[in-house]
Structure 1
Amino acid sequence: MSSLSTLGLLAGAALPVQAEEPVHYVALGDSFSAGTGTRAKVDDCYRSPHGYPALLADAHGLQLDYQACSSADTEDVHRDQLDALSPATDYVTMTIGGNDLGYAGVITQCALPGWLSNCEGRINDALELLHSQMPQRYDVLFAEIGVRAPAADVVIGTYPHLFSGRNCNLATFFTAAEMRALNGATDQLADVIADRTQAAGFRYVDARPAFQGHAVCDSPEWVNGLSWPIQESYHPNRDGNIGYADIFWPGTSGSTTTRTTTDTGTASTDQTSASRAQQVRAQADAVLAMDLTGSANLRQARSAGVPTGELVRLVAQLRSGDVATVEKALAGLAALNERHAIRAGR
């Protein structure tokens, strides 16, 4: 197989000329590379046909070995995915590092009401690990990739900002300050990824510019907010994976194989109402699962100055069968959280 310099991939800005043999492409990484968020789970690792690796392979005729796996961290990639690499490997992509830092746990913690959350502490713990351990973890992983696939064009991607500063989901309680802090942690992770990627002699691509204006609650949204199944939450959707494909290989979205199709049919009023009712019910159930009125959580609320009588009343209303009542209760809980954030100076 000819080298990727012959194919033109190393430039990263232009599509390669047609090769006589298919380019051997290995997609490594975590859920952001496995297509989680596209609502098309194929196996235990997810590996969606709408994930950016599949889009790249389809658009450019690559021979894809799809190794990326939801929940993978650097150790998992080293142990479970690198056997796919060889001297014949031409092209490698990867996002990795978020799970080393406890990505899901940090998001879950920060989504709680402020009087129950240790969002700042969880972010700080992740950042301490980022700066103390992640450079070495990246160096070890990247060195092994280089040994196993010495001729490959290896491209490492960063993660996008998840938040635009607005929380439009009534089942989560992110404050503006928490969203800024989470985006700031993403920036620090991107800096480390860029530094260690370039030190390894690999190519680095940054997802943040392309995703600007497409965060959770933006329009159009390239990242899911709280979703069901819950695994789909806070990951790039199908449009986001098209964006990622363009980030890794500019011009990919010009292919008809990567364009999303829109159902132009109009849903009936009954279908729309049912969908809204189901969404509201799911959000209410998510908040009820936080056990806000459990004895220990009520003590925390009381010590934080939250009016527990109002809290108990609003939580009780979440069990109502009336959609409007449940929506009003969710909005009331969001307002309680905002008042607490103001008092706490957050």
Structure 2
Amino acid sequence: MKLRRSLATAVTAAVAIGVSTLGPAPASAQETAAEKYVALGDSYSSGAGAGSYDSASGDCKRSTQAYPELWAEANAPASFDFTACYGATTTDVVNEQLGPLDTGTTLVTLSVGGNDAGFGDTMLTCVIQGTSACLDAIDTATAYITDTLPGRLDTVYRAVRDEAPNARVVVLGYPRMYELDGSCSFGISEESRAAINGAADHLSEVTAKRAADHGFTYADVRPAFAGHEICSADEWLHSVNLADLGDSYHPTAEGQSGGYYAALEGVA
């Protein structure tokens, strides 16, 4: 989710808040060697927050620690194209990321929707404007997720299927942001944290339904991130990162490996 511009404002305005399903080894090796893998999506797929960015990716912030890179390294597919980009919306994926897809593509991964729903602006509102404004912003985002996002996801999923008719498509969701009653002693209110988690759950449910209706596999990352949210004792998500504001509210390298990569391996 694209937070660089908006969080720069927040820094001056507020205190930062605080079982594998693979088959037998020979068959799996043959299948993996034949894979032609394309990784699409937003910053949760590009690896913003994980560090170790490929300088050639520029503002897309593609990390060598992102789950697509980890999967490609572990499984050695025949080809691997990584077009996911920081800040990408559903429209960006359709217009800018589908080039590598073709009839020979066998695996596609994708996370998208959070930027369409305005989660970056919502988090900014929660940080600098207090609980009431936060809850209003979350209500607006939730209404968008309910009323508008399904159609936008349909557009992406149809485009992916049109360009890669023979591929298995795995759609990955988003984690909850906060451990409730956790270790944070200051920052946004507990009511705001609970509402943010509720919106994340709603986004996951809507995304899972649309993915299933298109015959895609949905990989829910929330179980893997349980106990590793912001305010937990072992965080896999950044809160506000003053060293690199664009990393804020994104998975760390541990979140990419223990959360996203593990979820992908479980279904791919």
TM (normalized to structure 2)? 0.84
- Relative distance call for 1:12 and 1:195 in structure 2 (3 A) is farther
Structure-to-structure mapping, 1:181-260, within 5 angstroms:
181-227=195-241, 228-243=243-258, 244-250=260-266
Q: Unmatched 5+ residue regions in structure 2?
A: 1-18
Q: Which residue of 2 aligns with 1:3?
A: none
Q: Is the 8 A contact 2:219 2:267 kept in 1?
A: no
Q: 1:132 aligns with which of 123, 147, 154?
A: 147
Q: Which residue of 1 aligns with 2:121?
A: 105
Q: How many corresponding residue pairs? A: 239
Q: Is the 8 A contact 1:224 1:234 kept in 2?
A: yes
Q: 1:94 aligns with which of 110, 113, 116?
A: 110
Larger radius of gyration: 1
Query: 2:232 and 2:74 mapped to 1: Cα distance?
Result: 27
Q: Is the 8 A contact 1:92 1:155 kept in 2?
A: yes
- Relative distance call for 1:152 and 1:12 in structure 2 (3 A) is farther
Query: 2:80 and 2:238 mapped to 1: Cα distance?
Result: 26
Q: 1:13 aligns with which of 5, 21, 32?
A: 21
Q: Which residue of 2 aligns with 1:74?
A: 90
Q: 2:194 aligns with which of 180, 186, 201?
A: 180
Q: Which residue of 2 aligns with 1:83?
A: 99
Q: Unmatched 5+ residue regions in structure 1?
A: 1-10, 253-346
- Relative distance call for 1:208 and 1:84 in structure 2 (3 A) is same
Query: 2:117 and 2:134 mapped to 1: Cα distance?
Result: 14
Q: Which amino acid aligns with 2:22?
A: A
Query: 1:88 and 1:121 mapped to 2: Cα distance?
Result: 46
Q: Which residue of 2 aligns with 1:50?
A: 65
Matched, 1:156 2:171: yes
Q: Is the 8 A contact 1:22 1:61 kept in 2?
A: no
SS of the aligned residue for 2:98 comes to helix
What CA deviation, in whole Å up to 9, does each residue of 1:294-328 have, x standing for no partner? xxxxxxxxxxxxxxxxxxxxxxxxxxxxxxxxxxx
1:169 is displaced (CA, Å) by 7.2
- Relative distance call for 1:112 and 1:40 in structure 2 (3 A) is same
Q: 1:31 aligns with which of 17, 40, 43?
A: 43
SS of the aligned residue for 1:156 comes to strand
Q: Which residue of 2 aligns with 1:263?
A: none
1:249 is displaced (CA, Å) by 1.1
With a CA cutoff of 8 Å and minimum separation of 6, indicate the structure with the bigger relative contact order: 2
Q: Which amino acid aligns with 2:49?
A: G
Identity %: 35
TM (normalized to structure 1)? 0.66
Query: 2:261 and 2:185 mapped to 1: Cα distance?
Result: 28
Query: 2:183 and 2:141 mapped to 1: Cα distance?
Result: 22
Query: 2:185 and 2:49 mapped to 1: Cα distance?
Result: 17
Query: 1:82 and 1:38 mapped to 2: Cα distance?
Result: 24
Q: Which residue of 2 aligns with 1:258?
A: none
State which drifts further: 192-201 or 119-128. 119-128
